[in-house]
């Protein structure tokens, strides 16, 4: 298999990656045939997966604009993936030049590509780190350089927590991040769930099994389990809702049925 110039030497390009599969669903070019194969297998069960990812990104952009309207101009995006068009720094800095963004990912392709995209951007940087080790993120030089933890921060956990198993205690990691943030900070979150998927559960389970098969289990949590991540936050209206129903800019009834898969919400620390 030919290794493209953008692929770091350290990565095994014979193993699929969640970040590159997501990139493929969004129409990006930073993925390999092994990623596309896994994506197509999952889509045999859930043909609307690209729509789910697009709804995720559209929610993220609306939530970033909401944060800016609330006066929050610092963004910490954990599990940021491969930067595609309309990413956090583009949305934030277009609306508010000088807004600061730190991306965090543990996928080497995502980190390397983010470094290339952000090379000339003094107000954005990327950290190679893992959500499960929040202190490594909080103590990283890029975060210390760009983010003032004494001022409100928008913490983005978009389509990441469903890749963290209960045995890795995602609730403790999310609480540690919350405790490091100033009052008035925001949690912007999406999470996969069987609730809302316009398919019988056994079909959705087929797609989930594809992720298990590539050693990236997809943990489908209930609305109640997802709501627990917002402990210590006051929910912003309209609360924890299907992605397409969070402050939509177009009529939800015009949306693809898959845009209602999983949940999205924004919380604010008191």
pLDDT in tens, 186-240: 999 999 999 999 999 899 999 999 999 998 899 999 999 999 999 999 999 999 9
The span from the CA of 86 to the CA of 26, in Å, is 11
pTM: 0.95
pLDDT of 174 reads 98
Is pLDDT at 1 greater than 70 in this prediction? no
What residue ranges define each of the domains in the chain, with the CATH number in brackets?
Answer: 50-204+219-269 (3.40.50.150)
> In the chain, which ranges are E strands?
74-78, 100-105, 124-128, 154-158, 186-191, 233-235, 263-269
pLDDT tens-digit readout, 35-78: 999 999 999 999 999 999 999 999 999 999 999 999 999 999 99
Segment 34-37 long-range contacts (CB within 8 Å, at least 24 positions apart): none
Pick from 61, 18, 7: nearest CA to 212:
18
């Amino acid at each position: 298999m030919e290794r493209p110039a953008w692929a770091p030497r350290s990565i095994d390009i014979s193993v699929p990656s969640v970040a590159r599969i997501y990139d493929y669903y969004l129409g990006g070019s930073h993925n390999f045939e092994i990623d596309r194969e896994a994506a197509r297998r999952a889509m045999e069960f859930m043909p609307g997966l690209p729509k789910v990812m697009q709804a995720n990104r559209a929610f993220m952009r609306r939530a970033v604009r909401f944060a800016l309207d609330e006066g929050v101009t610092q963004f910490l995006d954990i599990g940021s993936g491969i930067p595609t068009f309309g990413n956090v720094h583009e949305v934030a800095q277009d609306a508010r030049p000088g807004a600061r963004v730190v991306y965090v990912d543990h996928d080497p392709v995502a980190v390397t590509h983010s470094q290339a995209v952000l090379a000339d951007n003094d107000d954005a940087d990327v950290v190679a780190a893992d959500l499960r080790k929040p202190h490594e993120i909080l103590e990283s030089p890029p975060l210390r350089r760009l983010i003032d933890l004494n001022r409100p921060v928008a913490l983005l956990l978009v389509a990441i927590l469903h890749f963290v198993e209960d045995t890795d205690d995602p609730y403790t990691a999310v609480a540690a991040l919350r405790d490091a943030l100033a009052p008035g900070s925001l949690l912007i979150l999406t999470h996969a769930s069987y609730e809302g998927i316009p398919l019988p559960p056994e079909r959705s389970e087929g797609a989930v099994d594809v992720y298990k098969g590539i050693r990236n289990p997809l943990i489908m949590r209930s609305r109640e389990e997802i709501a627990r991540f917002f402990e210590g936050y006051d929910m912003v209206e309209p609360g924890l809702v299907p992605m397409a129903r969070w402050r939509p800019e177009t009529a939800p009834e015009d949306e693809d049925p898959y845009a209602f898969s999983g949940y999205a919400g924004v919380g604010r620390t008191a």
